[in-house]
Structure 1
């Protein structure tokens, strides 16, 4: 399946409009001030979406100008906030959640209907609850769907935690996104995503080897977002880490960011004779640069192997700032030449302690297109199979 990047960008904007309408409907119904935090198109597998935490919401099928399924979910705490607002003292009621879901989803679908100049019919809402995997199964999520539209809605002064997923049927997506002068192969993008996942696993092993902190890759995503929305992909809390420029076969930027507590633990493990790091002095900064540099090399080596080319990395730049502020410096540079970004991101966590590290790769769009032309997904799959038998 090939997709036109311009069309993908157009439909991302359409999803943004739909998400804003959905948020407006939620505000109008509850009186709670809401806003869309982020809208993205994600090349996702079922494992990526099957979060372990519990969710409550509704699944609604739609057909017309676009066919598929939508899934609107809240955290259990978010549902309590909504029901306390609408039905104070009456507890959780499936019918109330279904009604909220129906009205909110209608707003999202209206945005698509207006853009497509078509009538889109929606089914009655089906109440769903459970873990991420259980909710996906209840929604009838088809595992071979290529792209998922995802929006997060936040509330002012409230713990609402609203997520909206739109799963278009593959035929509908192909019809909407095919054509264009310079299409991108979804299969080749998936190959790069798999290499990013493998690179994240190697980077995780690097952290463990250098610090003695056992970590695993928790999440790996490939998202397509407007360049100005990239900062919203990072939580608005302090991070410590590095930013590196990549050059060669795949130019762009890589960010390796630890939460402050994890960064102190990492720096203490790397600075000789140090049991605790309270400030990021020159020694601690040097330690963060060292581990960030090695992790980045581990992360992109797989891509270099697939492309059979060299990817060079610049000396690491130490950063200690809120996530959006760190990303804005990168976005300002990439935004001079592109309107959208393919964002590869992975999260590393430890099983036995609070530990959080994110790796974010933002390739230059022109370099990415060139790189995709040289990728043979079949050859890559064969190489992975052979490697697994050694």
Structure 2
């Protein structure tokens, strides 16, 4: 299934609008300012998304959504969030049942705000089942079906809402059924074809107006006779959006070096004597794009296969770390996100980062960023050093050199699997150490990708080791148009051919 990039942008904006409505509902209930931390479309291994949902001591509230868009809407809360909400809504010593009732009611109100904009945009009502509260063990049993038989990946829309100075938050996952998302995306594409001129993709929000069984338009706080602490009840399906009886339609709110001579190649490559990717006379290393260089459409099926390759690429990079240090490393969530460029920095946890930035050229082209918190960088670098660097403050030249070497090996391991499957050559510059990774990161986003596209596909993964304090985040940012070309050429029958022979790399 090919999906139009503009359609993905529209649906991502709808998700953000829905999250804003949900955030506003939360703010009104707890009388606390709230903020949207990040909103994204995620294509990742179903097991990794499930693991992300399960992480921490979390409880959840689940809704089954039915209509033109059908699937699952899930709100997840860690214990701190549950305690905070309960104390704000039911001050004093609340029982476990009162805590569950408070959190369920909160999710019920937020659900109405989140789905209303979707229903208005789709010009149809969306039905939501009564909320189902999931204890931690029940949430652990929550499973997600993959997009199809040829992939383990899942498509999900995700948002995070934070409050109390970003110390308390909750996550929202909208996981549509494949058939319904295909229908929605096709309608979006038809709409784009019918109106080729620029159009406003901001969703009209339904506010808090959704049907909870009340005969009046009193809104979500109307008492329907049930005994919940807010009297809104959960006795039947709710309809939100365009056809909801009470709906309203208010507007809602690294520096990388130029280096032609030292670039490294991965994958099958060009045969000797053939034109390589730099034989066009270009003076600079890097991809050049026209003003209209953005991708038109992306194959969702192939994108999900590419997401599977990302997981394997992360594992290959982790193996390189183990080879160099003798320390066993493990990988965590790996997948592809489609995110407004302005939101990508919000995916980083607070703190200072160092690491490497590098550029890769071929099919696809883009940037690879490897980030460590400072303590992780020191620990992994010292594990690679033949001698003890002593107790010097900060990172020494030896630390920086070791991190650059590690970044080079990880970069090769990460992208080589792509090149093998795509039967293409992907070359990369030697990664350059960056002491201020946030500045280098923003430079790539704004000065490079941001000139040509409003959203970006980012390939996210992470690794860590229990033996020492070491955590690493890998972020690949392919050029949108180049990624489209790569996916067009992807032969899914070759998706298992990602093994890397170290002799081919070094």
- Provide TM-score, normalisation by structure 2: 0.71
Question: Aligned to 1:335, what secondary structure does the other structure show?
Answer: helix
The reply on whether 1:160 has 2:163 as its aligned counterpart is no
Alignment partner, residue 35 of structure 2: 35
Of residues 81, 92, 111, the one that matches 1:78 is 81
Asked if the contact 1:49–1:132 (Cα under 8 Å) also holds between the matched residues in 2, the reply is no
**Aligned 1:111-122 pairs, distance under 5 A:** 111-122=117-128
Aligned to 1:12: 12
Within 5 Å, give how 1:336-355 maps onto structure 2. 336-355=451-470
Q: Which residue of 2 aligns with 1:292?
A: 407
For the structure 1 residues 164 and 132, does the alpha-carbon distance in structure 2 shift closer, same or farther, using more than 3 Å as the test? farther
Structure 1, residues 369-388: CA drift from partner, whole Å, max 9, x if none? 1111111102334x479x9x
Match of 2:156 among 131, 140, 148: 148
| Residue pairs, 1:206-217, within 5 angstroms | 206-217=320-331
**Separation in structure 2 between the aligned mates of residue 356 and residue 199 of structure 1, nearest angstrom:** 17
Q: Which residue of 2 aligns with 1:87?
A: 90
The residue aligned with 2:134 is: 128
Question: Is 1:379 the counterpart of 2:497 in the alignment?
Answer: no
Displacement after TM superposition at 1:133 (Å): 5.5
- What is aligned with 1:257? 371
Are the aligned partners of 1:78 and 1:159 in contact in 2 as well (CA < 8 Å)? no
Distance 2:140 2:124 in 1: 32
For residues 13-65 of structure 1, give each alpha carbon's deviation from its aligned partner in whole angstroms, at most 9, with x where no partner exists.
00000001100000000112211100101113331122342211210122234
Residue ranges of structure 2 left out of the alignment (5+ in a row): 149-153, 194-295, 502-506
1:311 is aligned, of 426, 429, 440, to 426
| Distance (whole Å) between structure 1 residues aligned to residue 437 and residue 33 of structure 2 | 24
Question: C-alpha deviations, 1:144-191, integer Å up to 9, x for none?
Answer: 474100001111336322000001111110011134784321221122
Q: Could you say what secondary structure the match of 1:136 adopts?
A: coil
Contact 1:71 / 1:165 at 8 angstroms: preserved in 2?
yes
Q: CA deviation at 1:274?
A: 2.2
Cα distance, 1:296 vs structure 2: 0.4
Instruction: Report the aligned-residue RMSD.
Output: 2.1
Q: Residue by residue, what CA displacement relative to the aligned partner does 1:323-382 show, whole Å, maximum 9, x if unpaired?
A: 4x442111111111112111111110113333200111010011111111111102334x
Cα distance between partner residues in 1 of 2:95 and 2:459: 41
- Secondary structure of 2:424's counterpart equals coil
Who is 1:171 aligned against? 179
Q: Residues 70 and 164 of structure 1 are in contact (CA less than 8 Å); yes or no, is this contact kept in structure 2? A: yes
Would the alpha carbon gap of residues 156 and 193 (structure 1) be closer, same or farther in structure 2, given more than 3 Å must change? same
228-237 or 165-174: which moved more? 228-237
Looking at structure 2, the residues matched to 15 and 71 of structure 1 have their Cα atoms a distance apart, in angstroms, of: 13
How many residues are aligned here? 381
Q: Which moved more, 1:312-321 or 1:120-129?
A: 312-321
Report the TM-score, using the length of structure 1 for normalisation: 0.92
Q: Equivalent residue for 1:301?
A: 416
User: Aligned with 1:28: secondary structure?
Assistant: helix
Per-residue deviation at 1:272?
3.4
Q: 1:45 to 1:249 in 2, by over 3 A?
A: closer
Q: Matched residues in 1 for 2:42 and 2:402: separation? A: 34
**Distance apart, 1:123 and its partner CA:** 1.5
Contact 2:421/2:494, CA 8 A, preserved across alignment: no
The Cα of 1:78 is off from its aligned counterpart by 0.8
For residues 109 and 80 of structure 1, do their structure 2 counterparts lie closer, same or farther at Cα, with a shift above 3 Å needed? same
Q: Which structure has the highest helix share of the two?
A: 1
Instruction: Note the C-alpha offset of 1:212.
Output: 2.6
Alpha-carbon spacing, 1:354–1:109, altered in 2? closer, same or farther (3 Å): same
Seen in structure 2, the aligned counterparts of structure 1 residues 84 and 158 have a Cα distance that, compared at 3 Å, is: farther
2:115 maps to 1:109: yes
- Which whole-Å CA distance do the structure 1 matches of 2:426 and 2:348 have between them? 25
CA distance in 2, matches of 1:303, 1:271: 30
